[in-house]
Structure 1
Amino acid sequence: MEIKLSDHFTYPRLLRFVLPSILTLFFTTIYSIVDGIFVSNFVGKTAFAAVNFVMPILMFLASVGVMMGAGGSALVAKLLGEQNKVKANQVFSMIVYTMFAFGIIVSIAISFFMENIVCFLGANGELLTQATHYGRIAVLGGTAFIFQHIFYCFFIVAERPKLSFIVTVVAGVTNILLDLVFIVILKWGISGAAFATVIGQMVGGIVPLIFFLLPNKTPLSLVKPCFDGSALLTTSTNGISELVSNIAMSVVSMLYNYQLIKFAGDTGVAAYGAIMYTSYIFSTIYMGYSFGRAPIVSYHYGASNTEELKNLFRKDLVIVIFAGFLLTATSEILAYPLAYIFGSYDLNLFEMIRHGIYIYSFAYLLMGVNYAGSSFFTALNNGLVSGLISFFRTFLFEILAVLTLPIAFGVDGIWASTVVAEVASFIFTAACLVRYRKKYGYY
Structure 2
Amino acid sequence: MKQKMQSERLGTEPIPKLLKSLSIPAMIGMFVMALYNVVDTIFISYGVGIDAVAGVTVAFPIMMIMMAVSAAMGIGGASVISRRLGERKEEEANHVFGNIISVILIISVLGIISSFTILEPILRLFGATPEILGYAFDYMFPILLGTFFFSFAFATNNIVRSEGNARFAMMTMIIPAVINIILDPIFIFGLNMGVRGAAIATVISQASVTLIILHYFLTGKSTLQLRLVDLKLKLTILKEVIAVGLPAFAQQAAGSVMMIAINTMLIRFGGDMHVGIFGIIQRIIMFTVMPMMGVMQGMQPIVGYNYGARNFERLRETVILGLKVTVFLSFLIFALVMAVPHWLMMIFTSDPEVIQAGSEYLRIMFSAVFLIGGQVIGSGLYQALGKPKQALILSLSRQLIFLIPLVLILPHFIGVYGVFLAFPISDFFACVLASILMYRDRDIFFKKGKNTTEETIPVSSGT
Give the corresponding residue for 1:305. Answer: 309
Give the corresponding residue for 1:104. Answer: 108
Q: Secondary structure at the match of 2:89?
A: helix
Give the corresponding residue for 2:165. Answer: 160
Out of 419, 423, 426, the position equivalent to 1:414 is 419
Unaligned runs of 5+ in 1: none
CA distance in 2, matches of 1:60, 1:229: 23
Aligned-pair distance for 1:348?
1.9
Q: Does the 8 A contact of 1:155 with 1:164 survive in 2?
A: yes
CA distance in 2, matches of 1:306, 1:232: 34
Out of 76, 84, 87, the position equivalent to 2:87 is 84
Is the counterpart of residue 399 in structure 1 residue 404 in structure 2? yes
AA at the equivalent of 1:340: M
Deviations 1:327-385 (A, max 9, x none): 3223334411121222322x221111111111222343233432343344344444333
Aligned-pair distance for 1:416?
2.2
Give the corresponding residue for 2:459. Answer: 439
Give the corresponding residue for 2:154. Answer: 149
Is the counterpart of residue 52 in structure 1 residue 57 in structure 2? yes
AA at the equivalent of 1:439: V
Q: Does the 8 A contact of 2:102 with 2:233 survive in 1?
A: no
Q: CA RMSD in A?
A: 3.1
Out of 282, 285, 290, the position equivalent to 1:284 is 290
CA distance in 2, matches of 1:201, 1:368: 32
Unaligned runs of 5+ in 2: 445-457
Is the counterpart of residue 329 in structure 1 residue 349 in structure 2? no
Is the counterpart of residue 4 in structure 1 residue 24 in structure 2? no
Q: Does the 8 A contact of 2:44 with 2:194 survive in 1?
A: yes
Q: Does the 8 A contact of 2:20 with 2:298 survive in 1?
A: no
Q: Does the 8 A contact of 2:292 with 2:376 survive in 1?
A: yes
Aligned-pair distance for 1:263?
2.2
Is the counterpart of residue 93 in structure 1 residue 113 in structure 2? no
Is the counterpart of residue 390 in structure 1 residue 390 in structure 2? no
CA distance in 1, matches of 2:193, 2:360: 33
Q: Does the 8 A contact of 1:340 with 1:350 survive in 2?
A: yes
Give the corresponding residue for 1:66. Answer: 71
Q: Secondary structure at the match of 1:35?
A: helix
CA distance in 2, matches of 1:159, 1:333: 42
CA distance in 1, matches of 2:337, 2:163: 34
Deviations 1:118-165 (A, max 9, x none): 011222324222212321111222222223333443444433333333
CA distance in 2, matches of 1:440, 1:214: 47
AA at the equivalent of 1:358: R
Deviations 1:165-185 (A, max 9, x none): 333222111111111111111
Give the corresponding residue for 2:181. Answer: 176
TM-score, length-normalised on structure 1?
0.86
CA distance in 2, matches of 1:298, 1:72: 20
Give the corresponding residue for 1:136. Answer: 141
Larger Rg, first or second structure (1 or 2): 2
Cα 1:59/1:47, change in 2 over 3 Å: same
AA at the equivalent of 2:104: F
Cα 1:85/1:306, change in 2 over 3 Å: farther
Cα 1:397/1:213, change in 2 over 3 Å: farther
Q: Does the 8 A contact of 1:239 with 1:378 survive in 2?
A: no
AA at the equivalent of 2:110: V
Aligned-pair distance for 1:44?
2.1
Deviations 1:285-305 (A, max 9, x none): 33444445546666677xx42
Q: Secondary structure at the match of 2:311?
A: helix
AA at the equivalent of 2:425: V
Cα 1:419/1:146, change in 2 over 3 Å: farther
Give the corresponding residue for 1:42. Answer: 47
CA distance in 1, matches of 2:423, 2:246: 21
Out of 122, 127, 134, the position equivalent to 1:122 is 127
Aligned-pair distance for 1:57?
0.7
Q: Does the 8 A contact of 1:405 with 1:417 survive in 2?
A: yes
Aligned-pair distance for 1:399?
0.7
Q: Does the 8 A contact of 1:46 with 1:266 survive in 2?
A: yes
Aligned-pair distance for 1:276?
0.4
Cα 1:296/1:233, change in 2 over 3 Å: farther
CA distance in 2, matches of 1:69, 1:78: 14
Aligned-pair distance for 1:42?
1.0
Q: Secondary structure at the match of 1:306?
A: coil
Which has the higher mean CA deviation after the structures are superposed, 99-108 or 204-213? 204-213
Same amino acid, percent of matched pairs? 25
Q: Does the 8 A contact of 2:19 with 2:295 survive in 1?
A: no
User: How many residues end up aligned between the 2 structures?
Assistant: 434
Out of 375, 392, 398, the position equivalent to 1:370 is 375
CA distance in 1, matches of 2:460, 2:98: 28
Alignment of 1:166-315 (within 5 A): 166-216=171-221, 220-222=223-225, 225=230, 229=235, 232-291=238-297, 293-294=299-300, 304-307=308-311, 310=315, 312-315=318-321
Which has the higher mean CA deviation after the structures are superposed, 203-212 or 269-278? 203-212
CA distance in 1, matches of 2:306, 2:162: 13
Deviations 1:372-401 (A, max 9, x none): 433443444443332222232211211111
CA distance in 2, matches of 1:273, 1:325: 23
Q: Does the 8 A contact of 2:97 with 2:226 survive in 1?
A: yes
AA at the equivalent of 1:423: F
AA at the equivalent of 2:276: A
CA distance in 2, matches of 1:184, 1:126: 22
AA at the equivalent of 1:86: K
Q: Secondary structure at the match of 1:60?
A: helix
CA distance in 1, matches of 2:99, 2:373: 28
AA at the equivalent of 1:397: F
AA at the equivalent of 1:96: I
Is the counterpart of residue 350 in structure 1 residue 370 in structure 2? no
